[in-house]
Amino acid sequence: MDTPEAFDRLLRDRSAALLRTAYLLTGDRHLAEDLLQSALTKTFQRWSTLRDEAAGEAYVRKVMVSIYTRWWQRKWNGERPTAELPDVELLDPYGAADEREYVRRLLTSLPRRQRAVIVLRFYEDMSEKDIAEALEISTGTVKSTASAAMTRLRTMIAEEQGPARVRQYEGGDRP
């Protein structure tokens, strides 16, 4: 039998009926597609030994039932349905940008010295001593300025109910 053309005709003319059979066997659209694909692969490998297209279709059905039976006989069946779905945090693709904009807006509302201390301390990860040298102020002034800035940021976050990730730092040492 002419392999590529006859097999293509079988796919074109009978794939919907074969998929329906697979669906009736599995009860699941995705499993039915997997089952049919597996059966068609095995059938294609044996296509040259089949008499005609009708025999090919019958062979596909036989292979589907055989594969499905093996699936059914296995102890492990892959996924298991559950009554309760696990809580999965969905990532908001714009959430990080929103948070950055929110923090940027908070920082720009601070007086210049407070903003400079916070940026150098938490974004540039500089020590208090290095910040004091860079701004030409004492280490004590850096500490008191950072404390005042953090108090002001926490107050603004609490009043505005900012993004959850930003609010989690209210008790910590980061803006």
The string of pLDDT tens digits covering residues 18-37 is: 999 999 988 889 999 999 99
Sign of the dihedral through C-alpha 131, 135, 141, 147:
negative
Tokens describing residue 139:
């280490």
> pTM above 0.85?
no
Give yes or no for a contact between 151 and 175, defined as CB atoms under 8 angstroms apart: no
Rg, C-alpha atoms of the chain: 33
Give pLDDT, residue 75: 58
- What structural domains and CATH numbers belong to the chain? 3-73 (1.10.1740), 95-167 (1.10.10.10)
